Structure 1
């Protein structure tokens, strides 16, 4: 019996994209390092940014600059940070009504709702003010845990906090970070969220059943329950 639905955040409950373009385009700020080199160094530290090895934006930037023998301009770094926060906040604005309706109906049916997001602190600075947050029983942010999807531990942590077994959960995400395979290995029932994919330039693929509209989650759960079928 399914007792909980656990979601990914970006490109599942919220999106950074609209009509093929990002909602907020960050201003290019000269931070005192070659842009190509910086992008390479930033990407190289993604896992450490997600799992909390770097507790915040500035600790990661300090490491990048130190490893490359450059003294950072703190004022420029602050401007770069502010642009990053603005870009991420934009994704939380104007929540998709179809998503909100779906979450509300799941709650009315007595299902627990969870969230597992690979993120650094500035990426979820606007979370508490989002209407989506009111529907979520447990929000697991990777930087707070020491783990990141697809590590089994982060799925297990979510289940423990929600008081459910992995087999009692479905996991829904856009398949970033190999999250659907991670959920499967953890014992959950993964499904591929595609309702925001029409806005992207590059769609993610998987072998898991696609859900093309939020309302299809309700059909999937409740029609199966009425027929006495398992997910």
Structure 2
């Protein structure tokens, strides 16, 4: 049996390539009657409030964002903007070429897999349509869970659902939200993904000065798991 019984992944920037807001986000701003720079600034400033789900549904959250931005769109405009934002975030999401092979390789070895993501309402809605979905045994979304990384409760919830101990889990992430420190504090082994494309990645509260293991590609992950001797 492998040393690690489960590998848990961050989503954006880890299972996906770097994320940058594309042109489709301009449509959302236009629907809301809000300058795109103003909307972007509010979205950046309120990410963790939104990602923790504290403002309710996607529509209620976007209405709250509009209030922060000083605009008052109609209900129809808000509904259209919610759909537009969903499309825009989906368009920004491109899986890494090695994501599916890495997940499949781990599962072939009997290692369970999961994702822990700080995210807003869009990811839980479209992840089931992605190629990685059948290869994930557990999905922890901050917007549904009510807390964001590095809160240990997210990591421990994943362990509970997988019925594994934290010390038997490997966590892989690009380092946003202080997630690696959070995983380590929860009792896991944490590995930073430092892929070349992550320059310019949209990230909040990035991990600084990480002193733990680092890989340059998800392709290295299966070899890393294989290289660690089984616990006796």
Q: TM-score range by the shorter chain?
A: 0.7 to 0.9
Cα 1:67–1:58 change in 2 (3 A) is same
Shift of 1:224: 2.2
In structure 2, the partner of 1:41 is: 42
Pair 1:146-2:141 in alignment? no
Which blocks of at least 5 consecutive residues in structure 2 are unaligned?
none
CA distance in structure 2 between the partners assigned to 1:150 and 1:9 by the alignment: 14
Which blocks of at least 5 consecutive residues in structure 1 are unaligned?
none
CA distance in structure 2 between the partners assigned to 1:33 and 1:163 by the alignment: 46
In structure 2, the partner of 1:3 is: 5
In structure 2, the partner of 1:201 is: 200
Question: Aligned-residue CA RMSD in angstroms?
Answer: 2.6
Shift of 1:92: 4.8
Partner of 1:97, secondary structure, is coil
Cα 1:35–1:47 change in 2 (3 A) is same
Shift of 1:34: 4.9
Partner of 1:26, secondary structure, is helix
Task: Give the TM-score taking structure 1 as reference length.
Answer: 0.84
CA distance in structure 2 between the partners assigned to 1:89 and 1:64 by the alignment: 20
CA distance in structure 2 between the partners assigned to 1:179 and 1:24 by the alignment: 29
Shift of 1:146: 1.3
Shift of 1:37: 4.4
In structure 2, the partner of 1:119 is: 119
CA distance in structure 2 between the partners assigned to 1:67 and 1:173 by the alignment: 31
In structure 2, the partner of 1:191 is: 191
Paired positions, count: 223
Conserved 8 A contact 2:18-2:198? no
Conserved 8 A contact 1:15-1:91? no
Partner of 2:14, secondary structure, is coil
